Amino acid sequence: MLRAVVGVGANLGDRLSTMRAAADALAHVALVDGRSHVYATAPVGPAQGEFLNAAILIRFHGCPADLLDALLAIEVKLGRVRGERWGPRTIDLDILWIEGRLVDTLELVVPHPHLLERAFALMPMLELVPEARDPRSGAPYRIPSGDVRRLPDLL
Protein backbone atom coordinates (compact mmCIF):
# COMPACT_ATOMS: atom_id res chain seq x y z
CA MET A 1 0.00 0.00 0.00
CA LEU A 2 1.26 3.48 -0.87
CA ARG A 3 1.09 6.35 1.60
CA ALA A 4 1.09 9.42 -0.61
CA VAL A 5 0.29 13.11 -0.78
CA VAL A 6 -1.70 14.37 -3.73
CA GLY A 7 -1.58 18.06 -4.58
CA VAL A 8 -4.84 19.66 -5.65
CA GLY A 9 -4.88 22.99 -7.45
CA ALA A 10 -7.24 25.12 -9.52
CA ASN A 11 -7.50 28.62 -10.92
CA LEU A 12 -10.58 28.54 -13.16
CA GLY A 13 -14.27 28.40 -12.34
CA ASP A 14 -15.54 27.69 -8.84
CA ARG A 15 -12.10 26.64 -7.66
CA LEU A 16 -12.90 25.53 -4.14
CA SER A 17 -15.95 23.49 -5.20
CA THR A 18 -13.98 21.79 -7.96
CA MET A 19 -11.11 21.03 -5.58
CA ARG A 20 -13.53 19.52 -3.07
CA ALA A 21 -15.16 17.46 -5.83
CA ALA A 22 -11.70 16.14 -6.76
CA ALA A 23 -11.03 15.25 -3.11
CA ASP A 24 -14.38 13.47 -2.89
CA ALA A 25 -13.66 11.56 -6.12
CA LEU A 26 -10.25 10.57 -4.79
CA ALA A 27 -11.96 9.10 -1.72
CA HIS A 28 -13.59 6.55 -4.07
CA VAL A 29 -10.21 5.18 -5.20
CA ALA A 30 -8.06 5.61 -2.06
CA LEU A 31 -8.36 5.87 1.70
CA VAL A 32 -8.20 9.55 2.62
CA ASP A 33 -6.32 10.16 5.86
CA GLY A 34 -6.36 13.96 5.77
CA ARG A 35 -7.10 17.15 3.87
CA SER A 36 -5.06 20.32 4.27
CA HIS A 37 -6.06 23.94 4.42
CA VAL A 38 -6.32 25.78 1.13
CA TYR A 39 -3.47 28.09 0.13
CA ALA A 40 -3.60 30.94 -2.38
CA THR A 41 -0.68 31.88 -4.57
CA ALA A 42 0.27 33.66 -7.75
CA PRO A 43 0.49 31.31 -10.74
CA VAL A 44 3.62 29.73 -12.14
CA GLY A 45 3.87 30.24 -15.90
CA PRO A 46 1.86 32.53 -18.17
CA ALA A 47 -0.25 35.43 -16.89
CA GLN A 48 -3.43 34.08 -15.30
CA GLY A 49 -5.54 34.24 -12.17
CA GLU A 50 -4.53 33.29 -8.65
CA PHE A 51 -4.27 29.59 -7.84
CA LEU A 52 -5.77 27.76 -4.92
CA ASN A 53 -3.72 24.79 -3.70
CA ALA A 54 -4.21 22.08 -1.10
CA ALA A 55 -3.09 18.54 -0.38
CA ILE A 56 -4.70 15.21 0.44
CA LEU A 57 -2.98 12.44 2.37
CA ILE A 58 -4.02 9.03 1.07
CA ARG A 59 -3.35 5.32 1.28
CA PHE A 60 -3.63 3.65 -2.11
CA HIS A 61 -3.76 -0.05 -2.95
CA GLY A 62 -1.83 -0.21 -6.20
CA CYS A 63 1.28 1.08 -7.88
CA PRO A 64 2.20 4.72 -8.57
CA ALA A 65 1.23 4.37 -12.25
CA ASP A 66 -2.26 3.21 -11.24
CA LEU A 67 -2.59 6.19 -8.90
CA LEU A 68 -1.56 8.53 -11.71
CA ASP A 69 -4.19 6.95 -13.99
CA ALA A 70 -6.84 7.47 -11.30
CA LEU A 71 -5.86 11.14 -10.89
CA LEU A 72 -5.94 11.75 -14.65
CA ALA A 73 -9.41 10.17 -14.84
CA ILE A 74 -10.66 12.45 -12.05
CA GLU A 75 -9.24 15.49 -13.88
CA VAL A 76 -11.08 14.52 -17.09
CA LYS A 77 -14.32 13.91 -15.16
CA LEU A 78 -14.03 17.42 -13.68
CA GLY A 79 -13.47 19.09 -17.06
CA ARG A 80 -9.69 19.42 -17.22
CA VAL A 81 -8.53 20.26 -20.72
CA ARG A 82 -4.78 20.14 -21.27
CA GLY A 83 -3.52 23.08 -23.26
CA GLU A 84 -0.71 25.48 -22.62
CA ARG A 85 1.95 24.20 -20.22
CA TRP A 86 1.35 25.73 -16.78
CA GLY A 87 -1.71 27.49 -18.22
CA PRO A 88 -5.06 28.08 -16.51
CA ARG A 89 -6.94 24.97 -15.46
CA THR A 90 -10.09 23.91 -13.69
CA ILE A 91 -8.25 21.23 -11.71
CA ASP A 92 -4.71 19.96 -11.36
CA LEU A 93 -3.89 16.78 -9.44
CA ASP A 94 -0.26 15.82 -8.82
CA ILE A 95 1.42 13.08 -6.84
CA LEU A 96 3.71 15.20 -4.69
CA TRP A 97 5.29 12.51 -2.52
CA ILE A 98 5.09 8.81 -1.78
CA GLU A 99 6.51 7.70 1.55
CA GLY A 100 9.89 6.05 1.05
CA ARG A 101 9.53 5.82 -2.72
CA LEU A 102 11.26 7.28 -5.74
CA VAL A 103 9.60 7.05 -9.14
CA ASP A 104 11.31 8.20 -12.31
CA THR A 105 9.59 7.15 -15.52
CA LEU A 106 8.61 9.00 -18.68
CA GLU A 107 5.08 9.39 -17.31
CA LEU A 108 5.74 10.09 -13.65
CA VAL A 109 8.41 11.53 -11.37
CA VAL A 110 7.94 11.33 -7.59
CA PRO A 111 8.68 13.27 -5.51
CA HIS A 112 7.23 15.91 -7.78
CA PRO A 113 10.18 17.37 -9.72
CA HIS A 114 9.48 20.94 -8.55
CA LEU A 115 8.41 20.14 -4.98
CA LEU A 116 11.47 21.64 -3.30
CA GLU A 117 10.92 24.98 -5.09
CA ARG A 118 7.21 25.38 -4.45
CA ALA A 119 6.04 26.61 -1.09
CA PHE A 120 2.43 26.31 -2.31
CA ALA A 121 2.91 22.53 -2.60
CA LEU A 122 5.14 21.95 0.43
CA MET A 123 3.07 23.97 2.90
CA PRO A 124 -0.11 21.88 2.57
CA MET A 125 1.91 18.66 2.31
CA LEU A 126 3.83 19.36 5.51
CA GLU A 127 0.59 20.33 7.24
CA LEU A 128 -0.48 16.70 6.71
CA VAL A 129 2.90 14.94 7.00
CA PRO A 130 5.22 17.17 9.04
CA GLU A 131 7.73 14.34 9.33
CA ALA A 132 7.99 13.85 5.53
CA ARG A 133 11.50 13.30 4.23
CA ASP A 134 12.99 13.45 0.77
CA PRO A 135 13.44 9.78 -0.23
CA ARG A 136 16.61 10.66 -2.18
CA SER A 137 18.53 12.27 0.67
CA GLY A 138 16.57 11.31 3.77
CA ALA A 139 16.52 15.01 4.72
CA PRO A 140 13.34 16.50 6.16
CA TYR A 141 11.50 18.84 3.84
CA ARG A 142 11.74 22.56 4.56
CA ILE A 143 9.39 25.19 3.19
CA PRO A 144 11.09 27.56 0.74
CA SER A 145 10.22 31.22 0.73
CA GLY A 146 7.27 32.16 -1.39
CA ASP A 147 4.27 34.44 -1.47
CA VAL A 148 1.66 31.99 -0.20
CA ARG A 149 -1.21 32.70 2.14
CA ARG A 150 -3.25 30.15 4.02
CA LEU A 151 -7.00 30.53 3.77
CA PRO A 152 -9.35 29.51 6.58
CA ASP A 153 -10.94 26.84 4.35
CA LEU A 154 -10.11 23.17 4.64
CA LEU A 155 -10.23 21.16 1.48
Residue 86, classed as helix, strand or coil, is: coil
Q: 15, 35, 94, 118: which is the annotated catalytic residue?
A: 94
Instruction: Answer yes or no: are the C-beta atoms of 132 and 140 closer than 8 Å.
Output: yes
Q: Per DSSP, what are the bridge partners of residue 9?
A: 53, 92
Instruction: Answer yes or no: are the C-beta atoms of 5 and 115 closer than 8 Å.
Output: no
Q: 15, 35, 92, 118: which is the annotated catalytic residue?
A: 92
85 among known catalytic residues: no
Q: 20, 35, 80, 118: which is the annotated catalytic residue?
A: 80
SS3 content of the chain, % helix, strand, coil (to 5): 25, 30, 45
Sign of CA dihedral 36, 38, 42, 46: positive
94 among known catalytic residues: yes
Q: 15, 20, 89, 118: which is the annotated catalytic residue?
A: 89
Q: In b/e form, how buried is each residue of 33-67, taking b as 16+ CB within 10 angstroms?
A: eebbbbbbbebeeeebeebbbbbbbbebeeebeeb
89 among known catalytic residues: yes
69 among known catalytic residues: no
Which residues does the annotation mark as catalytic? 80, 89, 92, 94
